[in-house]
Amino acid sequence: MNKGFTLLEMLIVLVITAVICVGAITSLGRFRANTALDAAHQDTLTALHEARELTLSSKEATVYGVHFQTDKAVRFTGATYDAGATSNVTYLFDPRVRAVSISLSDGVSDVVFKRLTGETNATGTIVVAVYGKDMLRATTTVSSSGIIQ
């Protein structure tokens, strides 16, 4: 009696191992994409909530806003966005994530909150997405009352 493995048995083991590895790599890729998307969506929400709260608390007796670009959200101080301001707080998105739709009223890319009420004139949605086999997306909505969902 031979005590060993045949070539066929070895090939079957290799094929099964390859299938398991491909499945694991695919799952890991989806997990990483979901994590990147969740982080970008959370950064968007955080920037908006912070800007609204700072405005409502009248910190430094001014208003705060958030400027959106495809690769980042920037919380800024004052009524208008200044890219060079030292007070800006930038939330960079993972390179796999992009703001694919910034659909705010009047075609603006800034949301500025009003003191005392927290309302805003820039209403609409910001959609961040990860492109891949299945495009994953997350939507943030800003209402005129300043409520962020």
Q: Express each pLDDT in 64-119 by its tens digit.
A: 999 999 999 999 999 999 999 999 999 999 999 999 999 999 889 999 999 989 99
Any idea which residue has 């009420």 for tokens? 117
Pick the closest to residue 145 from 117, 126, 125 (CA basis).
117
Return the minimum-mean-pLDDT range out of 10-14, 22-26, 77-81, 135-139: 22-26
Return the minimum-mean-pLDDT range out of 22-26, 33-37, 71-75, 98-102: 22-26
pLDDT band of residue 120 (cuts 50, 70, 90) is: very high
Q: Is the pLDDT of residue 30 over 90?
A: no
Angle at 114 between CA 111 and CA 120, to 5 degrees: 40
pLDDT of 88 = 97
pLDDT of 1 = 61
Task: Give strand ranges (E) for the chain.
Answer: 64-69, 72-77, 89-92, 97-104, 110-112, 124-130, 136-142
pLDDT of 35 = 93
Q: Is the pLDDT of residue 134 over 80?
A: no
